[in-house]
Chains A and B, each alone.
Chain A
Amino acid sequence: MTIKEKEMDLEFSKKLAEDLTDNFQKCFQCGTCTARCPAGIVSQYRVRKLMRMAQLGLKDRIFNSDEIWNCTTCSTCKILCPWEVDPLSSILRLRAEAVKAGHENKKHDTLVKSLLSYDNPWLQPRSARRKWYKKLDVKDVNKDPAKVLYYVGCTATFDSRLWGMTKSVINVLKKAGVDIGVLGKEEKCCGGTVRGIGHPDIFENLAKRNIEDVNNSGAEIVLFSCPGCLNTFKNAYKSVGEVKPTLMHAVEYVEQLIKDGTLKLDKNVDRIVTYHDPCHLGKHCKIYESPREVLKAIPGLEFKEMKFIKENSWCCGAGGGAKTAYPDRATELASNRLEQAEETGAKVITSACSFCYQNLLDGIKQKDSKLEMKDVMELVAEAIEL
């Protein structure tokens, strides 16, 4: 289809070039990103082509196709680009522009509405945030401040399949004598997902309130088991305000506790385990070694690496609102990743992310895989006498 001159909104592309300081205009269409883009495997989405359309200001074409909504925000494009362009920033920006122009993805509507009403994307009442720890003795930091605040994240809070992970975080840290608490029904969505699907205004509102919450909680450390939340707090909040407590993923903290001898792993876990790098923990927050160090410290555990790890790891397919919009594509990507895990001979696939957990679990079910899904923290819990 010929590109007509009137289709090219040069003001639009000029504005993008001004705002996106990361070499947006310098993309020379080499396709390095696209050859390795996970979304491109399961859809017609082409990062390179999208960059070209954006450079040409083909606004309406971009807004009227579903392409931009396929990105899982894994950041592989940014890591691979030989010219240090950051296509991911461009995509996030284009999504925001699309929403502004009234072209939001309808499949995200419920999620957005739920957020505006309940501060979580899963249409759950606030009080349901306490469900998972009903039988555990967990401090509510609003009443009784704690040194460590566990920021649970919406996905793990409301999906009972993930409660093994959240409970493990509490049990393991308590065993190590850590003073830990949660925000309970006052916890709000971090805003990472809405930021990813083109709603910077809703994100900013949540960010402000969250920053206030954690800064006023009196906690020294905010602990995460969801790297999506961690990345949002650590990297995306910078533009909104200053988060005072130290931000850590649970695996980082546990690594420290093991190394300084506070946490003793004394039970054998006779399992063959492989580890899947969550994109938001690895590529975004550059945490690659902590989960591996923790796994290697578990007695009896046999650790197997997959072929594609760390920066080269393949995305599970869940991030960036892609799972909500296109669940089948997400599961297909999860199946691809599971195949790579199976090749190692491992019986357990482990990760350190709520989204990866959910999506890989769906993949296991669909694929009828023999693999068992476990969070790293669950394996740590198995290695200690509770």
Chain B
Amino acid sequence: MIGVFICFCGNNIGGYVHVPELTEYFNKKEGVIAFDTMFLCSEIGQNLIKEKIEELNLDSVVIASCSPKHHGGIFQACIGEKMNQFKWEFANIREQCAWVTPNKEEATEKAKAIINGAIEKAKLLTDIGTTKVSVTKDVLIIGGGIAGMHASLELSDKGFHVNMVEKKETIGGNMVRFDRIFPTDDCAMCTGSPLLADVAMNPLIDIFSLSEVTEVKGRAGEYIATVVKKPRYVDETKCTACGECTTHCPVEVWSEWDLEMGLRAAIYKPMAQAVPLKNRIERDSCIRCGTCENVCKAGAIMYDDEPREFKLTVGAIVVATGYDLVDLSNTEYHLEHPNVITGLQLERLKVPSGPTEGEILRPSDGKKPKHLLFVQCAGSRDRRHNVYCSKICCMYATKNARLIKAENPEMDITLCYIDMRTAGRGYEEFFDTAREMGIKYLRGNVSEIVPDGEDLIVRVEDTFANEPKAIKADLVVLSTGLIPSQGTRDMGTIIHLVSGADNFLAPVHVKIAPVDTANKGIYIAGTSESPKPIQECITDAGMVASRIATFLKDPEIEIELVTSKINPEVCIKCGTCADNCVYDAIETTGEFYKVLDVSCQSCGKCSVTCPTGAIDLSLYTEDQITRQIDGILASDRDSIIAFSCYQCGYNAADLAGTAKAKISPKIKVIRVPCSGRVTMQHMLYPFYKGAKGVFLAACLEGQCHYIDGNLQAKEKVALAKKSLDIMGVGGHKLNLFNMSSAEGPKFVAAAKRMVEICQ
């Protein structure tokens, strides 16, 4: 016996659908008993469900109410008190029916079909268990910049052991290379060096400098990361960083740390506060003369040092791999001219301990510039480079302009901008003072920078004055846009994290889960997620520490086993599923193939690719989906089936409902975890049963929450279309639409298009 519980939701459903008619209709159906109530999510409603499960010894339950995204958790917990928490199916008759169907009769008929589909699926539901797995309390932080350092200190304060892996020879990131920071004009190193010292001294933090993560395996709570430590050619246990070697080294090359604004030796430490405070030989510039070995009293030089690989087992991972500047060399910005520099290079000129000891001297002749010009949006808000705004440039250029103007009141400073974006505590006031100081803000995007000997002619329109200008400047500073660092991009591939169209790592939800990724136990912080100022990196770090503390608080974590299962009797051990699984969740070493329940992310792509049908995803089994199709079409043969991925398409459909958009009652949504779960059989089967059309609502390309599910679906759709052409049905009646979870209108447009096509 299946219990159907139908909610009026006040007028939200009751106003659009004849609820009593539905109850009466389903009560006549064999093996079904139906109830309705005003608010199913209320205590009264929940009690009704629990009572009836017990009283009637129900096999499974159908909840016909709002979207499961809304109160799914409440119903699961409520049902879980009386029976297995997964033995229920929902019928979304609010967002996807009542709210999008103005005609009450049509809405009622659509609700019948949706509920009938749910009933048919519910008949096949089975118990799904949970399991507990142990967790490792250690944490891996990739990237030792401001976000990584803060997260490591927060976590160690909470008692966690932290492994910090940093690519460069020192931790600190970009911030410790700045002169001062906005909006307080604090010295960056004055705030940075205590942090560096705290991290260095902390017994719970292990720092691996010159190291990179090359592989991550395992599962949430127990990830195994492979780390490669590059040779330093200096014994870290012996070096005292006395600097004798650097003094005597005959090599002088451009310093990467100073962004080629200064020189370094082949053996050096980037800064006095480096952590670890050890020298390093950079082998490409080293001429192997042996001088350093001769002068090193500690005997720390190791010319034969080699890369070392080791593994770290951790419960959670923080990716804080930061940003780089967009490369503007060989572009219209003429960065090859010595007196065109980036904002970060200007920081190095301004730092008191930097190559010019804090003097602003132009690179071509070492003279102090008289006309300094800042070019905003260099490589940002520009479709030829980066479409997005880099967020921090208005403030960092203003900061440098203010500091330079204060020290050099006679210097003419112009800042050319499109829009000044100074939103933040104290930011507008900061900008206000800058104008008071006599810094010229010129509203116009720089059109052209033309070298004129050692000077530059900058062409820009003063858009407020409506006049094009050619301004002579003797030092031009590009407020260069931010891009994800190479490390950030590498981590995206190595850990299988989802990136956005801008290539920054994408959180699970940009607003309500800003540091979580789709991979449980893996978090992102700082500018690996998007360009942001220092205080937001610190906020991220704190939040990540808190999320990890919650995640790792118990010795074990409970995992719901909504996972794929392999039937060993049918499995031919071809390896297709394992090759296809980006989460390495399929173990192929034993006698039989096995799904590692704790690694499985429940996308179901494996079951689509399996040639024998041996692997199937629980809660979305091949048969369950087929029966749901049957149920819908038995009630309304002319339906158009909309397989909607639960990450994006389903949300978009819900949003269309929230916006009270009009959608044809012929459209019937079937929830799937990922568009990659939809088999060709699912695409073709509805047509056998008389359906008018089928479509898939998938994530945007490149933004699949399971990396490539939507791309696999695209291939399958193309194949199925051919079959439909051959069958004479017409491939045009099957389509795939990409949309983000926020794009309700796209779902509406897709539905409309399908109705037109399938008429």
**What is the interface of chain A, defined by CB distance below 8 A to chain B?**
28-37, 40-41, 46, 48-49, 80, 82-84, 307-308, 312
Contacts and interface: CB of A to CB of B under 8 A. Distances in A.
Interface in B60-103: none
Interface in B438-452: 443-448, 450
Given A82-B382, A83-B383, A84-B383, A49 B466 contact: yes
A43 to B, nearest CB: 11
A345 B24 CA distance: 96
Contact of A30 (B444, B450, B469): B444
A35 B448 contact: yes
Nearest to A47: B461
Contacts of B18: none
Contacts of A29: 463
B382 A48 contact: no
Contacts of A34: 444, 447, 461, 463, 468
B448 A36 contact: yes
B383 A31 contact: no
Contact of B447 (A35, A83, A307): A35
A28 B418 contact: yes
A85 to B, nearest CB: 10
18 contacts: A28-B419, A30-B377, A31-B444, A32-B447, A34-B447, A35-B446, A35-B447, A35-B448, A35-B459, A37-B468, A40-B468, A46-B466, A48-B461, A48-B463, A80-B447, A80-B448, A82-B384, A84-B384
B475 to A, nearest CB: 20
Nearest to B447: A35
Contacts of B463: 29-31, 34, 48
A180 B462 CA distance: 52
A332 to B, nearest CB: 15
Contact of A31 (B381, B382, B419, B460): B460
Contacts of A33: 447
B217 to A, nearest CB: 43
Given A31-B460, A37-B468, A82 B448 contact: no
Chain B CB within 10 Å — which of A29, A31, A82, A83 has the most? A31
Given A31-B463, A46-B466, A84-B383, A36 B447 contact: yes
Contacts of B443: 31
A285 B331 CA distance: 21
Contact of B468 (A28, A30, A41, A307): A41
A82 B445 contact: yes
Nearest to A36: B447
Q: 6 smallest A-B Cβ distances: which pairs?
A: A31-B461, A35-B447, A30-B445, A82-B382, A31-B444, A34-B461
Report the contact-size class of chain B (Cβ under 8 Å from the partner).
20 to 34
Given A30-B377, A308-B450, 12 more contacts: A31-B443, A31-B447, A31-B463, A32-B445, A35-B445, A35-B446, A35-B447, A35-B448, A36-B448, A36-B468, A82-B384, A307-B450
Contacts of B377: 30, 82
Interface string B405-421: 00000000000001100
Given A30-B418, A30-B445, A82-B445, A35 B383 contact: no
A51 to B, nearest CB: 11
A147 B446 CA distance: 49
A84 B541 CA distance: 37
B468 A35 contact: yes
A36 B463 CA distance: 13
Contacts of A49: 466
A41 B461 CA distance: 11
A372 to B, nearest CB: 27
Chain B CB within 10 Å — which of A41, A83, A312 has the most? A83
B420 to A, nearest CB: 13
A33 B468 CA distance: 10
Contacts of A84: 383-384
| Majority secondary structure, A binding face | loop
B444 A312 contact: no
Contacts of B448: 35-36, 80, 312
Nearest to B470: A35
A35 B381 contact: no
Contact of B461 (A35, A82, A307): A35
Contacts of B462: 31
Contacts of A46: 461, 466
A305 to B, nearest CB: 14
A139 B332 CA distance: 47
Nearest to B380: A82
Nearest to A23: B383
B468 to A, nearest CB: 5
Chain B CB within 10 Å — which of A29, A35, A36, A312 has the most? A35
A325 B694 CA distance: 60
Contacts of B418: 28, 30
B445 A36 contact: no
Nearest to B452: A307
B466 A35 contact: no
Contacts of B460: 31, 35
Contacts of A31: 443-445, 447, 460-463, 468
B266 to A, nearest CB: 40
Contacts of B332: 312
Interface string B460-487: 1111001011000000000000000000
B381 A82 contact: yes
Contacts of A37: 468
A77 to B, nearest CB: 10
A82 B383 contact: yes
A32 B417 CA distance: 11
Nearest to B462: A31
Contacts of B466: 46, 49
Interface string B378-398: 000111100000000000000
A171 B444 CA distance: 51
Contact of A35 (B382, B384, B444): B444
A385 B577 CA distance: 74
Contacts of A82: 377, 381-384, 445
Chain A CB within 10 Å — which of B381, B383, B462 has the most? B383
Nearest to A311: B332
Contacts of A30: 377, 418, 444-445, 463
Contacts of B461: 31-32, 34-35, 46, 48
Interface string B425-458: 0000000000000000001111110100000000
Contacts of A40: 468
A223 to B, nearest CB: 34
B416 to A, nearest CB: 9
A349 B440 CA distance: 40
Contacts of B447: 31-36, 80
A28 B380 CA distance: 14
Chain A CB within 10 Å — which of B332, B447, B466 has the most? B447
A251 to B, nearest CB: 26
A31 B443 CA distance: 9
B489 to A, nearest CB: 24
A37 B448 CA distance: 11
A315 to B, nearest CB: 14
A41 B459 CA distance: 12
Given A31-B447, A82-B445, A312-B448, A36 B459 contact: yes
A34 B459 CA distance: 9
A229 to B, nearest CB: 30
A31 B384 CA distance: 16
A78 B459 CA distance: 16
A234 to B, nearest CB: 24
A48 B418 CA distance: 13
Nearest to A34: B461
A36 B457 CA distance: 12
Nearest to A308: B450
Contacts of A32: 444-447, 461
Nearest to A307: B450
A25 to B, nearest CB: 15
B718 to A, nearest CB: 28
Nearest to B382: A82
